[in-house]
Each structure stands twice: as C-alpha cells, then as structure tokens.
C-alpha cells in the first residue's frame, strides 16, 4: 500500500437521540456503501445516518429499530440494518422497504445479532441465541429457521459462511445448506474481530479467559490466519501492539490491515509477514478505537473511536469508497414558483399542473356518493342542563356514551320521533319497503 | 355574445382547479393524524406511512431562518399539483426532531397516500 496515506476527514457523529447525550464506549456500527459514495453509521438507539463523500456531509437518516444497531449491510436496492429486536431495510434515500420485528419465534430481544452478507437474495441472521434464520431480501420475510448449538458474534460470507462463536472458535458453514463444514479453534476465549475474503480468514482475539478485567484491553499479540483452500490454519502474524481489528484488503487478496486498540495500524502481506507499513491514528488520550472498516475500493479506511468520532483515512488524491460509484440521488433543486397572495381573487389554477400520465391522486372513487342535508345532531337534554356559558361559547361534560365524532343517523331519529302513526296493513308495509328499495337503488346508481 | 362567452370561459378557467385541489386536501386530511393510528406500527417511524406525515409538515409547516411560520400559497399549490400528478421530482423531507432525513419523489408520496386511502375504505376499518 502507498506511503501517502493520512487522515483526510474526521466527523463527530450526531448524538444518538434528540435529547440524548452521546454515550462513549459503545461502538457505532459503520459500513461503506458498495455502490455510492456514502458512509453509513448506526447508533445505539436504532438510528441510521449516511454521510456523503470524503467531506462526510450528512445525507439521509432514519430510524431502523429501537435497539442498538449491530450491523449494516449494503444491498443493491438499499441498506439493511440489524438491530437488537428487528431487521430493517430501507432505500438509501431513507424510505423504508420492509421491517421485521422479532417475535419470540425468531429471536430474543437481547440477542446480539449478526449476519452473513449474501449480497444477493438471502441473508442469514444469527446471534447469541439458539435459532438462526434466513430472510428473503426481496420480499422481506423470514423463509427458513434453523436451530444452532453455537452462539455467533461475527459472520462473514466469502466462499463459505465464516461465523465466529462466543467461545473463540470459527465455524465454517456451507453457504447454501448452512451446515457446519469445519470448526477452527482460533482462540481459547473469544474472537473479537474477523474478516474473510477469497481464501483466507483472519481473526483477532483473546485467549486468556481468566483475565476478565483486561479482556477488552488485552487482545492477543498476533493475528490468526486460516487457509480456506486447504482447510488448514496458517502461521499467525505477529502484531506486538495487540491486534484488535482486522480487515482483508478488498483488492489485494493476500493483504490485510490490522489495528490495535490504541490506533496503531499496520498493513501486512499474509504471504510475506515481514513487510511492514505502520501508521498511527491520532486519538485523544484515553480514547480507544472501537471499529475499523475498509472501503470496497480499498482506497479508504474508517476508524471509529470511543469518543464518538470517526476518522477517515486514505490517500488525499485518490480516496473513494465504492469500486464503481453510482451518483447519489439528491433532492432536485426546487423550481421557483410565482408568489401568490392570499386574496379572494387569486384563482387556485394560478400554478399549472406538471405533465402527467397516470391517474391523479385527487381522483375521487365514483362509488363514493354521499347524501347531504341531514338535520344536525340534537344536543341531548342532560348536556344542555349542564351547559356553562363563557365568553367564547358554552361547554359541558360529556355525558352520552358515544365515541368522539361518532356518526349518527339523524334522519332515523327524526322519523322515530314522529312515529305515532296508524298501524299499517301487511300489503301497505310491503309496498312501502318496495318503494324504499327502489329509492336506495337510485341513490347508489 | 362572443364577449360574454369569453368571460364565462375565463371564469371557468379560474375555478376549474378548485375541485381538484379540494378533493386532494380532503383525502390528505382524512388520512393524516387519525387517533386510531396511535400505536399502529404502520404509522411509526419505521414504516412508509411516516412519509405522509413528513410531507404534511413540508407542505404546511414551512418556517424561515428565524423559525417564524412562512405561509406561501404558491408553495402549497405547486406541491399539491406535483403530488397529484405523481411527479418524479425528489424532495428532502425532514422530521420535526431532525433525526429523520428522507429523499423521496412526489410519486412515492402519492403511492403511500393511495395505499393509506385504500385501507381507510376497507370495511374492516369502518366498523
């Protein structure tokens, strides 16, 4: 990788909620877009925000769920957010496509969920729970459910689905049947980061189970590598600063990027571990890295720290996110319209309709015909007796047991009030009902 | 008499759009903010109907830089016309708390309104 890499942008993520203060320490979910120059972040209150280009200007934002966003996946049609409690898919422009709320059958609310990015039509969702399920991305429904003995924390799809368990091993699953092909015991305690690409899985982890207090601070001083072609584990790459985050370079198939929690970044060739290329991210004292992500183009790296800042690294001249970028869809500039004044004479036709071909929204269904002119509702005696008259009108407590704004047939009420009529013969009644029916038909026609 | 005819035509021309705009407003009015929707997930921030709420604010609740209400009839009418015709033009809708920012086309808003309207007409909703 080139020597001119440096920090090109820095962004303080917006606070998680309207009234919330940023809670440092919780890593936000971040992802680079695969087809547009966008950066996606998800926070602990279920909000997803996107930022445009290397300037990181705010583009869209939406709410994907009520829990913490665990992972963001980019799809051709939109962005999929995995949340504690739900899976949400939205257009990049913001409007939702579908939303799956976990009921009991799918997932417990507390589960940390992860996902295998199929990129195509299906995604596999699993977590720290006994069930995995498959979602059809087009339809937005759960199509398959499977029991699992292992609880998963990370998942990545390459030629297989590589899933890191809570016990420090990595399960290699068949990407069609989701059956376990092999288990690789990478660490004795926990895998904290994993990436898989082409023929390799690389992991960072912790082995010492007893050092509970140091767990998150003391990752192992090497990166484990697994060769998927030959199904054997390779010699670990030494990383003295303690490997906390690791990513494979998307375009250099044997190169990986490793970072420590203190911000030391190293670019390593898996085939030739002695070539070193070290950078140091500028972190405020007492801040740690919480995430690292590499762009699909390989030309940008994102580092998130515990103070809620994201640092964008890359070569200033060539930085871009997506391999092949489509333009981002912005709002069209608003055309100027003539200023109208609110006078009685201003016709509502002053501004013309745009060109159109489909049925207008204002089209009123033809079967909806209403009778008008029914007498107004009577205020009943009990209410009238309690009326309190004030300057602006009169008010009383609601006494009658009807819904607010309930429609009542005032015509019928009128009729029954004058119903002391002479009894009718059967023949008369029959004639009357026939008349009624014909009258009804006339109205509905 | 020709002159009278012309006057009639120009009068008609002035008023011909009124019915259309009134019907459109009636539709939007009956759909928006029904108390039955309280707690209905379809109208929550995670569903498409939320766009209708945001559009209502965009239409009627414009403010200037100092936060004072801006009442611009031209804006309302031109937006109503565009949503009526289902224009492909895109606008940015922002929620009241600034936490949701959508870029949507008038055509997408129209589809949401139509869906909500169709649902309102279903017998199960009438009770």
Residue of A95, A101, A337, A370 to mutate for B, most B C-beta atoms under 10 A? A95
Instruction: Assess whether pLDDT exceeds 80 at residue A284.
Output: no
Distance, CA of A259 to chain centre: 27
Interface of A with B in 387-426 (CB under 8 A): 404
**Greater model confidence, A157 or A366:** A157
Q: Which of B82, B98, B103 sits opposite A60 (nearest CB)?
A: B103
Provide, as residue numbers in chain A, all residues whose Cβ is less than 8 Å from the Cβ of B97.
Answer: 18
Instruction: Assess whether pLDDT exceeds 60 at residue B124.
Output: no
Q: Which of B16, B100, B110 sits opposite A349 (nearest CB)?
A: B16
Report whether A116 contacts A87 (CB < 8 A): no
Under the banding of pLDDT at 50, 70 and 90, the label for residue A153 is confident
* CA distance to A6, A57, B46, per residue, from B37 (Å): 51, 35, 14
Q: Is B90 on the interface with A (CB under 8 A)?
A: yes
Under the banding of pLDDT at 50, 70 and 90, the label for residue A440 is very low
Under the banding of pLDDT at 50, 70 and 90, the label for residue B43 is low
Q: Beta-carbon neighbour count of residue A36 at 10 Å? A: 21
Q: Is B59 on the interface with A (CB under 8 A)?
A: no
The pLDDT value given to residue A317: 83
User: Among A234, A160, A180, which Cα is nearest to A202's?
Assistant: A234
- Digit-coded pLDDT (tens) for A396-425: 777 667 777 777 777 665 555 455 566 677
The pLDDT value given to residue A357: 80
Verify whether the Cβ–Cβ distance B48 to A95 is below 8 Å: yes
pTM exceeds 0.95, yes or no: no
Under the banding of pLDDT at 50, 70 and 90, the label for residue B72 is confident
Instruction: Assess whether pLDDT exceeds 60 at residue A210.
Output: no
User: Among A110, A107, A83, which Cα is nearest to A96's?
Assistant: A83
Verify whether the Cβ–Cβ distance A95 to B102 is below 8 Å: yes
The pLDDT value given to residue A212: 52
Q: Is B77 on the interface with A (CB under 8 A)?
A: yes
Whether ipTM exceeds 0.85: no
Under the banding of pLDDT at 50, 70 and 90, the label for residue A110 is very low
Q: Is A57 on the interface with B (CB under 8 A)?
A: no
Verify whether the Cβ–Cβ distance B17 to A349 is below 8 Å: yes
Average model confidence (pLDDT) for chain A? 77
Give the closest-approach CA distance of B67 to chain A in angstroms: 18
User: Among A62, A63, A83, which Cα is nearest to A72's?
Assistant: A83
Distance, CA of A421 to chain centre: 67
């Amino acid at each position: 990788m080139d020597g001119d890499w440096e920090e090109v942008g820095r962004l303080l993520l917006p606070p998680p909620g309207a009234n919330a203060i940023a809670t440092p320490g919780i890593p936000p979910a971040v992802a680079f877009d695969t087809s547009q120059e966008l950066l996606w972040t998800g926070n602990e209150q279920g909000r997803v925000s996107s930022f445009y280009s290397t300037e990181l200007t705010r583009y869209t934002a939406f709410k994907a769920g009520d829990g913490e966003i665990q992972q963001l996946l980019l799809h051709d049609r939109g962005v999929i957010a995995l949340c504690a409690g739900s899976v949400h898919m939205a257009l990049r422009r913001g409007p939702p496509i579908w939303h799956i709320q976990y009921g009991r059958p799918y997932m417990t609310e507390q589960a940390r969920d992860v996902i295998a990015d199929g990129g195509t039509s299906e995604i596999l969702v699993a977590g720290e729970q006994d069930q995995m399920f498959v979602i059809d991305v087009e339809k937005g429904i759960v199509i398959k459910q499977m029991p699992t003995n292992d609880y998963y924390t990370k998942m990545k799809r390459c030629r297989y689905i590589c899933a890191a368990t809570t016990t420090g091993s990595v399960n290699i699953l068949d990407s069609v049947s989701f059956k376990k092909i092999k288990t690789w015991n990478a660490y004795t305690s926990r895998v904290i980061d994993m990436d898989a690409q082409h023929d390799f899985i690389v992991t960072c982890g912790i082995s010492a189970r007893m050092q509970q207090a140091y767990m998150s601070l003391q990752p192992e001083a090497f990166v484990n590598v697994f060769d998927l072609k030959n199904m054997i584990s390779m010699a670990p790459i030494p990383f003295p600063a303690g490997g906390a985050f690791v990513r494979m370079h998307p375009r250099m198939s044997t190169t990986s990027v490793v970072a420590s929690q203190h911000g030391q970044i190293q670019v390593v060739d898996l085939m030739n571990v002695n070539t070193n290329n070290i950078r140091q991210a500028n972190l405020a004292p007492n801040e740690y890295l919480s995430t690292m992500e590499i762009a699909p183009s390989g030309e940008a790296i994102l580092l998130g720290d515990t103070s809620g800042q994201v640092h964008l690294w890359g070569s200033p001249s060539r930085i871009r996110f997506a391999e092949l970028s489509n333009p981002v869809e912005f709002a069209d500039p608003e055309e100027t319209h003539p200023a109208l004044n609110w006078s009685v004479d201003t016709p509502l036709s002053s501004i013309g309709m745009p060109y159109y071909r489909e049925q207008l929204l204002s089209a009123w269904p033809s079967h909806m015909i209403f009778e008008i002119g029914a007498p107004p509702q009577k205020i009943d005696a009990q209410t009238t007796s309690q009326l309190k008259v004030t300057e602006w009108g009169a008010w009383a407590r609601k006494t009658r047991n009807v819904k607010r704004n309930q429609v009542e047939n005032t015509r019928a009420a009128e009729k029954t009030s004058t119903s002391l009529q002479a009894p009718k013969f059967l023949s008369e009644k029959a004639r009357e009902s026939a008349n009624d029916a014909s009258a009804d038909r006339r109205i509905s026609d | 008499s020709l002159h009278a005819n012309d006057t009639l035509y120009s009068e008609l021309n002035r008023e011909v759009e009124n019915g259309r705009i009134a019907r459109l407003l009636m539709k939007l009015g009956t759909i928006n903010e029904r108390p039955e929707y309280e707690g209905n997930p379809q109208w929550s921030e995670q569903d498409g109907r939320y766009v209708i709420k945001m559009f209502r604010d965009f239409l009627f609740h414009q403010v200037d830089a100092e936060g004072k209400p801006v009442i611009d009839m031209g804006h309302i009418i031109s937006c109503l016309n565009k949503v009526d015709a289902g224009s492909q033009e895109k606008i940015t809708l922002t929620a009241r708390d600034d936490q949701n920012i959508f870029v949507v086309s008038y055509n997408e808003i129209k589809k949401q309104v139509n869906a909500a309207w169709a649902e309102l007409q279903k017998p199960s909703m009438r009770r």
